[in-house]
Structure 1
Amino acid sequence: MRGASAESLATLTEELGRVIDSGADGARIGDDLFAVSEVLRREPRLRRVATDLSTAPEAKSGLLRQIFGDKLDGASLDLVAKAAGLRWAGPRDLGYSLEELGVIAVVKAADRAGQADALEDQLFGFGRLVSENPGLRDALSDPARSIHDKQALVRGLLEGRATPAAIRLAEQSLTGTHRTVAVAIAEYQKVAANHRNRLVATVRAARDLGDADRQRLAGALARQYGRPVHLNVVVDPEVVGGLSVEIGDDVIDGTVASRLDDARRRLAG
């Protein structure tokens, strides 16, 4: 998102932080913002009116207050009204931004409950589950199944195994804002990491890492990048030994296979 839309999203993100830090229910706000985002995606006329630059900001804010006033928590309604009064580069940007704000609200609620680390791990695990199971992936992308049916399937898979925040974001990933469920979950992971001021590293290893190994690796990466780092560990039988780490656009390949390939190239040269 660029230009006016990026500036408006930044303004709303700051306001959301102040509201939740003041004691508002982040989980409720997240649900409310997801619901409004869905209405805006379904209703192109409302979307156009709410972002029309020729209409006074007060009029647009008042319209959304009138439409959603008896359906939203007061803090959520204030955010939605404020969003309508800001400038957007395109009509769709308002709905997309409200969804991102909803993700941030859910993350903040999980952080307050001491479950933010678990949330990040569970989002990664759910994304892997979908990617590695063609039957599940097909069921979640089947246009003949309703969103509610797909969400019920996900709840059945995750209830008792994941935090409420992870389940809520897994359900939201099915609404169709993003191209696929996997893409949606990856975006939510980025939002969660950004708003906890962390980086995310995907680590591939032949076996799972123990707590001490995870702490040492996370500490070394944090010192290198100057920010805390959350590790997503993938056990990959093709990794003969050592580790491969992807963090942002960087790849640190310390696997045995990589070192052997380097040695072969040097010998061939």
Structure 2
Amino acid sequence: MAATRQLWRLCPRLPLVFSQGYASAAAAETVKAPIKVFGIEGRYAHALFSAAAKQKSLDKVEKELNDFQFALSKDSKLEDFMRNPTLNKTRKDAALRGVLKEKKYSDLTVNLFGALAENNRLTKTQSVIKAYQTIMSAHRGEVPCTVTTAKPLAEKHTKELEKSLQNFTTKGQVLKLDVKVDPSIIGGMVVDFGDKFIDMSTQTKIKKIVQTLKVGMS
């Protein structure tokens, strides 16, 4: 219960609810996340991560959030309920708690939605879930890498690409490769790997050639 109370303390309710000293004491008790996520969604996600870490429920909370995210994508009525600004926040809180407890969600997840409802932040639900997923990905040592090609890669080439990119990770890191197709790049590929962005697309090469020709003709 102490960890769930901490979640409520750390989530941004009304700015002046707690004194500065109390807020500092609560912050000192937090479990530091492996990556910093900014914005309102980041504040909720970091508070949830800290509380879940103390209860050794990081994976359980992530599974529950993923489950709720899937429900949102499939249930338009639920999505409308979350976004409807005319509904009383207290009723929203009560309704959500009832549904989540019926699904046997943990108190941490239930209280997260309670905090979002109380602060009229339910429209931020998807962003908060994504922020928590980002933190958990870093917690597992995953390194996201997105490769975009003009045409689908053969399975053999995808494996070769993944093996090559794995060489750029450090010990303990796990490459999380996502291969996308975008015909507009014409050919080549675009690699977005951690803090690196490499554009080797034919589209960009053509743009550079055109710009060079314009400069030469001016």
> What displacement does 1:207 show?
5.1
Distance in 2, Cα, partners of 1:33 & 1:201:
34
Greater RCO, 1 or 2 (C-alpha within 8 Å, sep 6+): 2
Is the 1:244–1:254 Cα contact (8 Å) retained in structure 2?
yes
Distance in 1, Cα, partners of 2:97 & 2:200:
40
Q: Structure 1 99/245 Cα, relative in aligned 2: closer, same or farther at 3 Å?
A: same
Task: Name the structure 1 match of 2:132.
Answer: 188
Is the 1:103–1:188 Cα contact (8 Å) retained in structure 2?
no
> What displacement does 1:50 show?
8.1
Task: Name the structure 2 match of 1:261.
Answer: 207
Is the 1:139–1:150 Cα contact (8 Å) retained in structure 2?
no
Q: Structure 1 109/181 Cα, relative in aligned 2: closer, same or farther at 3 Å?
A: closer
Number of aligned residue pairs: give it: 180
2:22 to 51, 63, 68: 51
Structure 2, unmatched stretches of 5+, are 31-39
> What displacement does 1:230 show?
0.8
Where in structure 2 are the equivalents of 1:102-117 lying within 5 Å? 102=51, 107-108=58-59
Is 1:222 equivalent to 2:133 in the alignment? no
Is the 2:44–2:128 Cα contact (8 Å) retained in structure 1?
no
Is 1:37 equivalent to 2:7 in the alignment? yes
Distance in 1, Cα, partners of 2:134 & 2:50:
13
Q: Structure 1 148/207 Cα, relative in aligned 2: closer, same or farther at 3 Å?
A: farther
2:191 to 219, 241, 245: 245
Q: Structure 1 52/181 Cα, relative in aligned 2: closer, same or farther at 3 Å?
A: closer
* AA at the equivalent of 1:144: T
Is the 1:244–1:255 Cα contact (8 Å) retained in structure 2?
yes
Distance in 1, Cα, partners of 2:161 & 2:77:
35
TM-score, length of structure 1 as denominator length = 0.44
Give 3-state SS (helix, strand or coil) of 2:186's partner.
coil
Q: CA RMSD in A?
A: 5.3
Distance in 2, Cα, partners of 1:103 & 1:149:
23
**Quick one: percent identity of the two aligned structures?**
17
